[in-house]
Amino acid sequence: MFSPPDTDSATRSTDQDALHARLSASRLGYIPDPWAALFLSRPQGVQNRPGLINVGTWLRTRSVDLLVEEFIARVEGGGKVQVLSVGAGSDTRFWRLATGPLKDRLAKYIEVDFPEITSSKARSIWKHARLKVVLGACKLDAGGTALHSEVYHLLPFDLRQPPAALGALLNLDAALPTLLLAECVLPYMPPEAGGALLHWATAGLGLGGERVPVGVVLYEMFGLGDAFGGVMRENLAARGVSIPGTLPSLHALQERFEAAGYTQSSALTLQDIRTHYVPRSETERVATLELIDEYEELDLVLRHYAVAWASKGLAGEGEGEWGLRKAGEGEES
């Protein structure tokens, strides 16, 4: 019997790319990530990535980590937050946070992805005591595609469905500040679906009434109308991966936030971040890790990826806003 090709499986395969990149960057000392290898059945079979991929992984992981930490730190009175990571794939950020100084600030950390991805992640968690012990008591659900513990929840959901359907699954707390994370996810979805998700967060997360504060952190490729973008699209298309949700410019990323009701927003390329937002001591440390000789190519790649963040109702908006700090602002440059 004819069965249509599963076009989503190509999209899902991008999670392995991200996981392999994280493993490579952590092995080589770019980022601390003792958890990544636990999500692979044969981590020893994964080769390290080229230097420019490692640098990109370092910059995006470091930037998103800093934004998450600062969002939590800004919540008044040292209160708790809930984090919703969409298209989370095999991301390890929960384990890094839950074993770090901010662990008591997490009320809920929910990860959402396709069921094929969540069931594989749930199996890894179940198999590795090191992952499971961080969760405390936990149980599998929905035929092994979901997993629940007191703080951490893993749920299957196709993000192209209306966000109201997602909200109905989440059991979020209307009283808590909420941070939405979408790391390299929205480009794989139709632009309307990404916009609807961003708007749903500012419009009250389906909890009735506008609730604040809410923040969002994105990482994604953009500006693919040039020769570099053409090659990237062709390479992805050869694997069956399409990226209908990519935006043409940094400005468009901020406009999307504004259209979705955020009152503060920023977007930086990884190249901006590398040049102006990393303390010199950290840049010097990373320069010793491996020899990078393709600097022109590195610049080109980094100029096509952005970290972007936006908020509504977060303390300090308009003053010292939530965001990445330039090197030299309050730290060694």
Ligand X SMILES: C[S@@+](CC[C@H](N)C(=O)[O-])C[C@H]1O[C@@H](n2cnc3c(N)ncnc32)[C@H](O)[C@@H]1O
Q: Which residues bind ligand X (CB under 6 A)?
A: 11-12, 14-15, 18, 87-89, 91, 113-114, 117, 158-160, 183-185, 188-189
DSSP, residue by residue, 115-161: HHHHHHHHHHHHH-HHHHHHH-SEEEEGGGTEEEESSEEEEE--TTS
Give the closest residue to 96 by CA, choosing from 158, 184, 32.
Answer: 32
Q: Which residues contact 131 (CB under 8 A, 6 or more apart)?
A: 35, 38, 95, 124, 125
Give the closest residue to 88 by CA, choosing from 127, 62, 54, 122.
Answer: 122
d(CA 333, CA 327): 5
Nearer to ligand X by Cβ, of 27 and 276: the residue is: 27
Give the closest residue to 266 by CA, choosing from 196, 191, 322, 206.
Answer: 322
Cβ 77 to ligand X, closest distance in Å? 30
Nearer to ligand X by Cβ, of 88 and 122: the residue is: 88
d(CA 277, CA 330): 12
Annotated binding residues for S-adenosyl-L-methionine: 60, 87, 158-159, 183
Strand 106-113 vs strand 81-86: parallel, antiparallel, or unpaired? parallel
Cβ 182 to ligand X, closest distance in Å? 7
d(CA 105, CA 58): 25
Nearer to ligand X by Cβ, of 11 and 264: the residue is: 11
Residue 255 in contact with residue 214, Cβ under 8 Å?
no
Nearer to ligand X by Cβ, of 75 and 182: the residue is: 182
Nearer to ligand X by Cβ, of 31 and 327: the residue is: 31
Cβ 307 to ligand X, closest distance in Å? 12
Cβ 258 to ligand X, closest distance in Å? 24
Nearer to ligand X by Cβ, of 159 and 216: the residue is: 159
Nearer to ligand X by Cβ, of 196 and 260: the residue is: 196
Cβ 21 to ligand X, closest distance in Å? 8
Tokens of 181: 């994370």
Annotated binding residues: 60, 87, 158-159, 183
d(CA 284, CA 244): 37
Helices then strands, each counted (H, E), the chain: 12, 9
Tokens of 179: 């941070």
